[in-house]
Structure 1
């Protein structure tokens, strides 16, 4: 028997200590091929478990904790005082207490140079008018059959029911600009005959500033709200056709059928497949609205290339076709302050708008400001 030298009591965890020479000789003699890997690289089972729990809890906290914090609202981009806000509120109230003036927008347009660029056209697509010399969104070239199929699915293609009866009507186009936050215009907005919103701009949770109901929500598939709650108190969802596939999406939504997987691949983001409204609640924006809006914008642009109008600018032109008086709220991007909030409902900043090249919001601001200067429309939030 081989005697062990200086045998001492050691912690069982310390199995990485080197064997005594006599023990090594014993194992070699016995023919045991034992690999003595150094274990100082590894940690103990208890420490491993504790570290895993810490990492796991840290990961969950990083994901869940921000969502539990109260969401702050963006600061008003113009830093306006309470006095200025009160002036705007009083001005808005004065407009509502005054009697509606029949045909006001049309009369003001006739006395403005903008008249030639904004002719009278139907706001929504009608049967037999689905052929233009340009592809979407400025026409329906190559999409005539799809447009005809979509129109057959709709039971109505005229103005929303709120405009029936021939009475003088007021419209308000509610933009998504951060200037709307803190405006307290919600109660005033709800008093208009027709309230027009764009894309997924929310109502729920923002009623005090943005109002609580919607007459027309102008959108395209990728921009349509996902929450069914946003379609409550909504009369019409109007599709702005940017590509032929948008018409297929409308047919699937109206028919309450799922869009095939191949078609879904061609949208730049996931689209909503279910909207809790009936066929009579859908319309198709007349592409001529976007065409005339684009032509009007081109007169103010210094660029040679033609940029597409936003749905916001197109909604203003659509409102001029529908109503006697038109007001705007939430319009006026302030690109001079890149850290200002872009929208009234989220934390995106103004510099995000500079990254896109499809629209020229600076030119659109000049165009809308011209409409305000000519007293064709009223600017309730004072950012134009």
Structure 2
């Protein structure tokens, strides 16, 4: 009888404890333990991971936001013309775009959503020319700006950073982050580790695609890259001729641009080399390439 009494008392205590926990949770932690699972991934969640190397304008706080399960990285390549991939791109959880590549007028091929836009310091003036499109209509977009220290410096009033400060004064709801000097060095180090060459000594400039892929690997669990050709594509006899940018038709052919930069002794983007590296990363990360489709090697 004593054993049964103890068992009954234990069950009662357990039940009371469960009821008390639910009541306390309902009152004290609506933002965490009681939140439905669908909301756990919210960028405002207190458990959102912190991404080192991304500094908010103007207060310098690090980037904090939830990871994305699936991401579309949308190339600015002319390969996107006629792709009719807009719906598929918009169907991904997060959409990453580069520089000033527009969606207006190209929705059927590139979609409409922009979760993150990675922008070179050289493209900031191009965004400023169309502030209504990029800043008034895209207040939910996270902007990541990269560039050399002399342009991006907070302490020495770099020209690009000053321009970003003015943007924030006009559109205070915007989310604008810059890469720190340490992050820029980190990206250079990755290039050297992958190629065996010092970026500066080899006369190489990293592309916005390089910084976008590094961010995507930090932010996204699965990455689908749209419109990026492989490193061997431009050497194929029957490769298609498309504009370097889908929104700048009539400009230099994409493959010609790639080859000119790859062979440049100074100030050249190593587009083909970068794609060789992306191919290797695809074997270690969950990265796929589509339109054209190719596999990491």
Q: TM-score range by the shorter chain?
A: 0.5 to 0.7
Alignment coverage as a number of residue pairs: 215
Query: Which one has the bigger strand percentage?
Result: 2
CA distance in 1, matches of 2:284, 2:107: 30
For residue 198 of structure 1, what is the aligned residue in structure 2?
A: 98
How far is the alpha carbon of 1:285 from its aligned partner?
2.9
The DSSP-based 3-state class of the residue aligned with 2:105 is coil
| Structure 1: tracts of 5 or more residues without a match | 1-119, 127-149, 257-276
CA distance in 1, matches of 2:110, 2:161: 29
How far is the alpha carbon of 1:341 from its aligned partner?
2.1
Q: What RMSD, in angstroms, separates the aligned Cα atoms of the two structures?
A: 2.9
1:236 equivalenced with 2:142 (yes/no): yes
Are the counterparts in 1 of residues 258 and 272 from structure 2 also a CA contact under 8 Å? Answer: no
TM-score by length of 2: 0.62
| Offset from partner CA, 1:249-282 (integer Å, 9 cap, x none) | 21122123xxxxxxxxxxxxxxxxxxxx434422
Map 1:114-263 to 2 at 5 A.
122=52, 124-125=54-55, 150-152=57-59, 157-160=62-65, 163=66, 169-224=69-124, 225=127, 226-227=129-130, 228-231=132-135, 232-233=137-138, 234-242=140-148, 243-244=151-152, 245=158, 246-256=160-170
The DSSP-based 3-state class of the residue aligned with 1:151 is coil
| Offset from partner CA, 1:4-31 (integer Å, 9 cap, x none) | xxxxxxxxxxxxxxxxxxxxxxxxxxxx
| Offset from partner CA, 1:64-88 (integer Å, 9 cap, x none) | xxxxxxxxxxxxxxxxxxxxxxxxx
TM-score by length of 1: 0.49
For residue 32 of structure 2, what is the aligned residue in structure 1?
A: none
For residue 185 of structure 2, what is the aligned residue in structure 1?
A: 291
Distance 1:121 1:196, change over 3 A: same
Map 1:56-75 to 2 at 5 A.
none
Higher RCO, 1 or 2 (CA under 8 Å, sep at least 6)? 1
| Offset from partner CA, 1:112-157 (integer Å, 9 cap, x none) | xxxxxxxx9625227xxxxxxxxxxxxxxxxxxxxxxx432x7x64
How far is the alpha carbon of 1:312 from its aligned partner?
0.9
| Offset from partner CA, 1:181-234 (integer Å, 9 cap, x none) | 222111111122221111111110111111101111111343133322244344
Distance 1:331 1:123, change over 3 A: farther
